[in-house]
Amino acid sequence: MKLICSPISPYARKAMILARLSNIDLEEIAPTQDGANGYITGDSPLGKIPTLEWQPGQFLFDSVVICEYLDSLRDVPLLPQSGHARYIQLWQHALGDGLSDAVYNYHCETYRPVELHWDQMVRRYDQSIRNAVSKLEDISPWLGDDWTYGNLAIVCALDYAGYRANHFDWRDAAPQLAKWHGGFTRHTAWHSTYAYKTIES
Ligand SMILES: N[C@@H](CCC(=O)N[C@@H](CS)C(=O)NCC(=O)O)C(=O)O
């Protein structure tokens, strides 16, 4: 299967990590961009990545759907099939993706020339980032040390925040969470998909 992706995208990176953890051999393909159409590789009408060619010529999106599909190929899926535990995992995954959304929106607002910044929206997204990190700090004792369906999204979101929203030192604001996150950085699936260090240096 082909995954149209970039490790810079926290959404794409979730699928890249999950494939590695699950021994699923994906062909990872970098997308081509075409102005207002966005990313044109991978048949997303929204012009976004990731997409997954799960059947010849048929592409799945978005990342939540892709991750659920990849997870379904595992002998023991990360996402519980039903019950309370399933919704806790989906909620944690949504909190991680929500942090990525806030960072993405913050970056889009601040990437343009300063005179075009919309301060109200910059403040709105900045506050979302801070509030999401604060919630994650509160729940960090219960997140556990394994790659769960929720932790996958949270780890990718925090790495992305460190790259695209580095005006805010989330490690300083959330020391328990920083310690928890550190446990994941030892995994091959984490560092083989971590692209930000090379870009920053
Ligand atoms: N909700 C989507 C978000 C995907 C998304 O926003 N991807 C960004 C990359 S981080 C993208 O493709 N942006 C290109 C664009 O919108 O032009 C998902 O979970 O897959």
Question: Looking at ligand 1, which atom is closest to the CA of residue 10?
Answer: 10
**Is 104's C-beta closer than 6 angstroms to any atom of ligand 1?**
yes
- How many angstroms is it from 48 CA to the middle of ligand 1? 4
Among 170, 184, 171, 180, residue whose Cα is nearest residue 129: 170
> Of 3, 5, 8, 9, which is best to mutate to test ligand 1, by the most ligand atoms within 8 angstroms of its C-beta?
9
Last residue of a domain, one of 48, 72, 96: 72
Residue 6 lies in a domain: yes
153 and 143 Cβ atoms separated by less than 8 Å: no
Range of the domain at 137: 83-187
Among 133, 143, 153, 200, residue whose Cα is nearest residue 16: 153
Backbone angles phi, psi at 2, to 5 degrees: -105, 135
DSSP classification of residue 127: H
Res 7 pLDDT > 80? yes
Question: Looking at ligand 1, which atom is closest to the CA of residue 8?
Answer: 10
Residue 29 lies in a domain: yes
Distance CA 51, CA 61 (A): 5
Question: Looking at ligand 1, which atom is closest to the CA of residue 61?
Answer: 20
Which pLDDT score is estimated for 103? 98
Q: Burial level of 72, CB count in 10 A (0-12/13-18/19+)?
A: exposed
Residue 198 lies in a domain: no
Chain-wide mean pLDDT for the chain? 96
Residues 6+ apart with CB under 8 A from 121: 105, 109
- How many angstroms is it from 96 CA to the middle of ligand 1? 14
Same domain membership, residue 114 and residue 88: yes
57-101 confidence digits (pLDDT tens):
999 999 999 999 999 999 999 999 999 999 999 999 999 999 999
46 and 38 Cβ atoms separated by less than 8 Å: yes
Same domain membership, residue 46 and residue 18: yes
- Grade residue 201 by pLDDT with cuts at 50, 70 and 90: very low
94-137 confidence digits (pLDDT tens):
999 999 999 999 999 999 999 999 999 999 999 999 999 999 99
